[in-house]
Structure 1
């Protein structure tokens, strides 16, 4: 399993992985010129110790690369973790790379995320951000329809601009942005991946990015079952 579908058109694909739980162990043991050839109970105890005591550098020797297709609102929230990974408290992690497709160069058919009638959510009473319970399906249906109409108008104007010779980097201004799907590669250390997961698997995270976080966890955990479990433990 290397690819999981998310939302209506989105997906995450695990492109490549470098390392395993043993990579973390040996990165730590090199301090004493030691190396393990296979994971033992002693090694597992070492991983638990490293995670518990915040000795995070060994977790940065394991790397994962993903291809992600998500609405722009998810991508921009995700990007905060790439920017912040080198400055997050106790992380010291700069092993992140992000390369995104650009509508300055491509004119492929745009794809948009439109919530289903029963997926629109209400404003929470106790916070100025986030969302609460679903709103009435009848109201959701109205706004799903309105959003489809807005997207159709934007696509019509975008196609017209392209046909009239307007450059792609300006024609894209007609496309409704936040729900439009974008595609990118994210390469990150295991520590950085788990930092993202720890934040976006929380119950108060935006639901759409929670779904992507769940997929990341499902794809990465089989490769680092001990390390992921310990880095995400309370």
Structure 2
């Protein structure tokens, strides 16, 4: 299952382990009990666990997702791995030290550029005027085109890919591919923050794709763990 995001990106469900029933049985093992099917009482147990902050049972379920995202999204997402103190996350990313895969960039169209918000130091405001947006797109494309020429020249001269990549243009907009494996608790933490209305638009779109892929797998548990509608 794959959901397209932005102009070239996507999120793909690679694999998963467990279900809402896994959460229930992880909790009930304390009393040497096990459920065969999810019952109303099991649903109440999940509600209790989420409400009271008993989160370890949610860490017995995992999802593995593949992302293709601009670096500015990937680096925001990465914070949820290096800053995680409640679960073990795994992250593996394509490396241009070893490969010279095609370079693709996130390029907002003229009507997609956003203004600086009036009352905040971060985030975005209203859309920019179309003429300014058009020039911003053109300027970005010029940088990308020139940078690609320089990068390809470096490779043709035999410069090592790990150094030639310094010439790759538009670093924040360049797409990168990576796998993220995380527990349901970790996924819900990411979603609670990045589905919020004041998070960056681009990562909101990736968070929505994650939600759409994961929610059918853990409908009860995720519904209880999320604070963001």
Identify the TM-score tier after normalising by the shorter chain: over 0.9
Segments of 5+ residues of structure 2 without an aligned counterpart are none
Tell me the TM-score normalised to structure 2 length.
0.98
Tell me the TM-score normalised to structure 1 length.
0.96
Matches within 5 A, 1:82-121: 82-86=81-85, 92-93=86-87, 95-121=88-114
CA distance in 2, matches of 1:152, 1:109: 13
1:127 CA displacement: 1.2
Count of aligned residue pairs for this structure pair: 227
Moved more, 61-70 or 168-177: 168-177
1:192 CA displacement: 0.1
RMSD of aligned C-alpha atoms? 0.7
Correspondence for 2:20: 21
| Deviations 1:191-219, CA, capped at 9 Å, x for gaps | 00000000000000000000000000000
Correspondence for 1:167: 160
The residue matched to 2:59 in structure 1 has which SS? helix
Segments of 5+ residues of structure 1 without an aligned counterpart are 87-91
CA distance in 1, matches of 2:59, 2:82: 16
CA distance in 1, matches of 2:183, 2:101: 31
1:124 CA displacement: 0.7
CA distance in 1, matches of 2:116, 2:227: 30
Residue of 119, 129, 133 corresponding to 1:136: 129
Correspondence for 1:89: none
1:233 CA displacement: 3.5
Which of structure 1's runs of 4+ aligned residues deviate more than 6 A? none
1:129 CA displacement: 1.4
Correspondence for 2:184: 190
